[in-house]
Chain A
Amino acid sequence: MANITNTPESAGSNLMARALREAFYAGLVALGLFVLFVGLKTDQNILNELVLVQRWGLLAVFVAIAAVGRFLSVAFIRPYLAERKASKASAGVKEPGFVTRNFSMIAVAVLLVYPPIMVAIFGFQGSLKWVDNFGIQILIYVMLAWGLNIVVGLAGLLDLGYVAFYAVGAYSYALLSSYFGLSFWVLLPMAGIFAALWGMILGFPVLRLKGDYLAIVTLAFGEIIRLVLINWTAVTKGTFGISGIAKASVFGIWSFDVSASNNFAKVFGLPMSSAYYKIFLFYLILALCLLTAFVTIRLRRMPIGRAWEALREDEIACRSLGINTVTTKLTAFATGAMFGGFAGSFFAVRQGFVSPESFVFLESAIILAIVVLGGMGSLIGIAVAATLMIGGTELLREMEFLKHIFGPDFTPELYRMLIFGLAMIIVMVWKPRGFVGSREPTAFLRERKNVSGSFTKEGHG
């Protein structure tokens, strides 16, 4: 079909005529495409005979959608977009506003006051949902994605089995706390160390692989860990999972166990509520996230961080400059895995229950999708992507009003993967480098100029 977008529109009538013509063609094409698929349907009648059902009404709807869509697109949407583009180009580069410049500071401040505000609005019991399902859930994924960002975004190593390290962290806490009674504050660093160790164990044999091959092996590793957790029933209780995992305490001073004498609510003479623990967990994961961000930002300015990014850009050039690429890749793997382990132990303490169900491949895929959508290497972009992805899927559970439209059987959260996929396609078409495609340099002589995404590479090793 003729698709002339660059012709300057001289008159409105001309445009309308063209829009109508293209709408007609689009309708014609739709008719041709759908007449046999939609217009006619083969079915069996009660005598088991094959009959042809005619569905002209449905076909008309399909054709109408195509024609009207084309008309709207040509007549209104395209001129509007072109106009906006032109006005943007003429306006030149805008000075970023106050919010843009201080985005991360404002975000941290908002997160710090988030639980009290929720309590103030919804009361203790009502705030549980907002602090736990939205706040904590999103922050766990932010932390996981920031951890994976070190491996994928900075070092350019495609890791499809990141959830394995999350599992290692969660199970190290669950097992060591239930078998040996160690506290969360001892086990949090240990979970990180164990995960980092597993990162190295995986890294040694596989880091000679590149690109697709590395991705496949990491994918397999993720599955191996999950299958070990399922089948090593003597230790992990298999698919039953480990329940009754001990809660974390405020550095051992105040506990959240109801029976304990130093229970938080009792000590302060507050009414009993499970909200205190959730709020404590919220601040805990927020602190862990900030730690991850702080370490990532600092590491990027260290020689090792620059070597990771150089590795993503060109591995052979790295070697010609005397950089040991094997140890550099291993440190990236281990550092990323360590943050996965921290997040895992936090996950175990929050749920009080872990089972292999939580560590399926889909989790790895979601974390990777967040990193890619956010813009590889960009902490802010990734945080925004995690909020949209995880917050969005949680919001679907709140869409009760949709039941009034689609009937009582409609459960919107079942459509989350469909919406997730659609959203990814749209974002990737609209912003192929993710929300934040540009890269901030780690050092500068005169002025810090962001590097456009068209120069950075995705990595291949």
Chain B
Amino acid sequence: MAGTNTMTKDPILKVDHLSMRFGGLMAINDLSFEAYRGDITALIGPNGAGKTTVFNCITGFYKPTMGMITMRQKAGKEYLLERMSDFEVNRDAKVARTFQNIRLFSGLTVLENLLVAQHNKLMLASGYTVLGLLGFPAYKRAAAQSIEQAKYWLDKANLIDRADDPAGDLPYGAQRRLEIARAMCTGPEFLCLDEPAAGLNPRESLALNELLRSIRKDTGTSILLIEHDMSVVMEISDHVVVLEYGQKISDGNPDHVKNDPKVIAAYLGVEDDEVEEVIEQIEEIAEVAPGDTHK
């Protein structure tokens, strides 16, 4: 299951000619990429490159101006995510997500957070509340099973000792892990993580890498993540897509991307010889404009 970077990969998510326009701003411009089944795909780029916008388009929170996003489940069923509303993307297409600024149910306990994530499954088991209200045994079984499921993920995220505490009471790193555990409790095939390592210290970052690897190994869930922390990106991802100004500038395995001159230019500015060109251009302009005293 672990990512071997062969070319005969089975794409789980296909983004085709995706564009998103906010008024006059083209946040994403004709972006196409694929995420492969069983891979950890990283979406990186400088601030304002449109990474989170891509995420919001994939998970149904934004309706893209143009383009097509196809999610292909393991069983072969295909969903066009750009046509679905946000909750259907999770419920039907099995795409879960986390948020850049953590969104937990802070007044509910850690355990309850994970139970809410199993809402649709439990709703069905409780006969849309009616059978559950009457105390049918089928619902009791499902409820017990959902607690087991929650326990499994609490264990994985190393939160089992805090299960009965309010989620808002957890330290920051634990909240990040809980959000991932909560997303996994919805039983997704594709997990989108928006900057999961933001604000974590190196030790927590390492634990996060471990968690993501084990998610992929044990559940076969494919992961798409936005990340600024290159130690995380280069360490765990099988495939990296680089965005700048809403366009893809590089796509490939981490080694390829690391050495791509376009990526280096995007992150560090332009290269030396180009800098000279730019300076020449500025001087030409200065000569044309005589009123300018600066030289």
Contacts of A306 in B (CB 8 A): 108, 112, 115-116, 119
A323 CB–B CB distance under 8 Å = yes
What is the minimal beta-carbon distance from A47 to any residue of chain B, in angstroms? 69
B residues 185-204 in Cβ contact with A at 8 Å: 186
B88: nearest residue on chain A (CB-CB)? A322
Contacts of A331 in B (CB 8 A): 129
Asked whether B214 is an interface residue with its Cβ less than 8 Å from the other chain, the reply is no
**Chain B residues, Cβ within 8 Å of A295:** 133
Which of A83-91, A99-107, A310-318 lies at the interface with chain B? A310-318
Q: Is the CB of A309 within 8 A of B133?
A: no
Q: Which of B62-109 contact A (CB under 8 A)?
A: 86-88, 90-91, 96-99, 103-109
CB–CB B109/A441 < 8 A? yes
Size of the A side of the interface (Cβ < 8 Å), in residues, is 39
In the complex, A448 has a CB within 8 A of chain B: yes
Q: Does A243 contact B (CB under 8 A)?
A: no
Would A321 and B117 count as touching, CB distance under 8 A? yes
Known: A304-B129, A310-B116. A445 touches B105 (CB 8 A): no
Cβ of A320 and Cβ of B166 under 8 Å apart?
no
CB atoms of A441 and B116 under 8 A apart? no
Chain A residues near B147 (CB-CB < 8 A): 443, 445
Nearest chain-B residue to A450 (Cβ)?
B166
* Contacting residues of chain A (388-446) with chain B, CB-CB under 8 angstroms: 439, 441-446
Q: Could you mark each residue 320-336 of chain A with 1 if its beta carbon is under 8 Å from any beta carbon of chain B, else 0? A: 11111100000100000
Name B86's contact: one of A313, A314, A319, A456 (CB within 8 Å): A319
Within 8 A of A (CB), among B144-183: 147, 151, 160, 163-169, 182-183
In the assembled complex, B11 has its CB within 8 A of some CB on chain A: no
Docked Cα-Cα span, A363 to B59, in Å, equals: 43
Does B224 count as interface, using CB distance less than 8 angstroms? Answer: no
Contacts of A439 in B (CB 8 A): 107
A317 and B133 contact, CB distance less than 8 A:
no
- How many residues on chain B are close to A (CB under 8 Å)? 45
Docked-complex contact A457 and B107, CB < 8 angstroms: yes
Indicate which residue in A303, A322, A447, A456 contacts B186 across the interface (CB closer than 8 Å): A322
Q: Is the beta-carbon distance between A313 and B97 smaller than 8 angstroms?
A: no
Q: Are B106 and A322 in contact (CB under 8 A)?
A: no
Indicate if the CB atoms of A452 and B166 lie closer than 8 Å.
yes
Cβ contacts B114-144/A at 8 Å (1 or 0 each): 0111111011001001001100000000000
- A314 touching B133, Cβ below 8 Å: no
Are the CB atoms of B109 and A444 closer together than 8 Å?
A: yes
**Is B242 part of the binding interface, using a Cβ–Cβ cutoff of 8 Å?**
no
Name the contact of A321 in the complex, choosing from B116, B133, B165 (C-beta under 8 A): B116
Across the interface, A445 reaches (CB within 8 A) one of B91, B96, B164, namely: B164
Give the Cβ gap from A329 to chain B, nearest Cβ, in Å. Answer: 12
CB of A320 within 8 A of CB of B97, answer yes
Q: Does B111 contact A (CB under 8 A)?
A: yes
A97 to B237, CA, bound (A): 57
The interface residues of chain A lying within 8 Å CB-to-CB of B107 are 309, 312-313, 439, 451, 455-457
Pair A317/B119 contact, Cβ less than 8 Å: no
A312 nearest CB across to chain B (Å)? 8
Tell me, yes or no, whether A21 is within 8 Å of chain B by CB.
no
State in angstroms the CA–CA spacing of A298 and B132 once bound together: 9
Q: Are A319 and B87 in contact (CB under 8 A)?
A: yes
- CA of A85 to CA of B106, assembled, Å: 28
- A303 touching B129 by the CB < 8 A rule? yes
Residue of B nearest to A439 (CB): B107
B164 partner, pick from A299, A313, A325, A449, beta carbons under 8 A: A449
CA distance A392 to B295 in the complex (A): 84
A323 and B87 contacting across the interface, CB-CB below 8 Å: yes
For residue A250, CB closer than 8 A to chain B, the reply is no
Do the beta carbons of B90 and A320 come within 8 Å of each other?
yes
- B129–A299 contact, CB under 8 A? yes
A309: which B residues are within 8 A, CB to CB?
Answer: 105, 107-108, 112
- In the complex, 9 of the A-B residue pairs with CB atoms within 8 angstroms, ordered by the A residue number, are A306-B108, A306-B112, A317-B104, A318-B87, A321-B186, A323-B119, A449-B165, A451-B109, A452-B166
Ordered nearest first, which 9 A-B pairs have the shortest CB separation? A456-B107, A322-B90, A322-B91, A313-B105, A303-B122, A455-B168, A317-B103, A455-B166, A445-B163
Q: A303-B129, A447-B164 are in contact. List 9 more A-B contacts (CB 8 A).
A: A303-B118, A310-B116, A313-B105, A314-B103, A314-B104, A445-B164, A446-B163, A449-B165, A456-B107
